[in-house]
Amino acid sequence: MAERYFVVREDLLPEGILKTEQAKELLRRGEAATIHEAAERVGLSRSAYYKYKDGVYLLEQASRESIATLSMDLEHRSGVLSKVLGMLASSEGNVLTISQSIPLQGMANVVVSIDAARMGESLKELLERIRSLDGVKRAIVVGRS
């Protein structure tokens, strides 16, 4: 299913989403040194922050930022993740964060956030190339900001 985006008036948003954006703003301005500190200052749990952080952003930021979050299911074999990261680097995608689950039944989920501002190809093209790699079973965009 394709990603869908909504523009919603602030007063209609749930408190957790609003507080997530407030915490992100504290981090952007350097008024909080850690996610824990920012979440605590706005009265938000860290789990709620992590749930919403990649999916909520101010509308005026949408045109300035180009962060994409990719989710991939990779075979647990030597070199598969390295090939994916090499492909991201060759496309000028700067890796910001990476998280890998513990492999189960020979597969691991990897979530990578990249700065795609300098990429010479579209995310769609990049995903097609990543999917073509041996050992990649699934690759999708799960968030953009």
What CATH class is the domain 67-144? alpha beta
pTM listed for this prediction:
0.56
> pLDDT tens digit string along 7-53?
788 899 999 999 999 999 898 889 999 999 999 999 999 999 999 98
Mean pLDDT of the chain: 89
Q: 106: left (phi > 0), else alpha (psi -120 to 50), else beta?
A: left
pLDDT at 64 over 70: no
> What is the percentage of the chain residues whose pLDDT exceeds 90?
64
CA 128 – CA 140 distance, rounded (Å): 10
Query: Mean pLDDT across the stretch 113-142?
Result: 90
Query: Mean pLDDT across the stretch 78-106?
Result: 94
Contact assessment for residue 139 and residue 131, using Cβ atoms and an 8 Å cutoff:
yes
Q: Cα 127 from chain centroid?
A: 14
pLDDT at 63: 45
Inter-CA distances, 75 with 39, 67, 90, 109, Å: 35, 25, 22, 9
